[in-house]
Amino acid sequence: MSYVFLDRIPATEHNESIVATQDLANGQWLKLGVLGADGESRAVEVATKPEDADVFLADAPLSYDDPHFDLSTYKVKKGTTGRAFHLGKGDVISVTTDLVKGARVGDSLTIGDNGLGFKKTEDKGMAMLIGTEVKQNVGEVFVIAIR
């Protein structure tokens, strides 16, 4: 289902236009590569370890009156452009529960398996699970503070 909400990030938060090399769901951590032919977008690879996690995919698709559009199954398709954010210390995001594995409120988090979302870690990690909320039409989400 992979919903991502940018709860508290600065208006000046740096984001990247990325070109997917495979279908990517929101909540994917990515490693930035070379500049694309358009002079703006960057090639990306899926990050598999925290030190490679340059940006976090939080694409906001536009759909005008498409009765078949379903945000819960949305992916940035291979070869298309999406939007990813450089998250920094103090940023707060919320993600659906499918994007957090094995953690409870108060636990430290690192990037999830295959770079998707988050999972519990015993060290300080890159983030902390600070709460839960219920979002209308989505359900329960985990609130995460980036360290």
Q: What is the pLDDT of residues 70-109, one digit of tens each?
A: 877 889 999 999 999 999 999 999 999 999 999 999 999 9
Asked if residue 1 has pLDDT above 80, the reply is no
Give me the pLDDT at residue 97, please: 96
**Least confident span in 71-75, 78-82, 113-117, 124-128:** 71-75
Model pLDDT, residue 71:
78
- List pLDDT tens digits, range 13-51: 899 999 999 999 999 999 999 999 999 999 999 999 999
Please give the pLDDT value at position 107.
98
pLDDT band at 67 (very low <50, low <70, confident <90, very high): confident
- Terminal CA-to-CA distance of the chain, rounded, Å? 25
Q: How far apart are CA 4 and CA 141, in angstroms?
A: 9
pLDDT band at 2 (very low <50, low <70, confident <90, very high): confident
Q: How many CA atoms lie within 13 A of 73 on its CB side?
A: 3
Give CA–CA dist 127/52, Å, rounded.
Answer: 15
CB 144 within 8 A of CB 58: no
Q: Which residues contact 26 (CB under 8 A, 6 or more apart)?
A: 2, 3, 4, 57, 58, 59, 74
Number of Cβ atoms within 10 Å of the Cβ of 96: 21
Q: Are 138 and 111 in contact (CB under 8 A)?
A: no
Mean pLDDT in residue range 116-132: 97
Residue-level pLDDT at 70: 81
63 vs 83: which has the higher pLDDT: 83
Report the distance separating Cα 102 and Cα 87, nearest Å. 22
**Phi, psi (deg, nearest 5) at residue 97:** -60, -20
> Model's pTM, two decimal places?
0.93
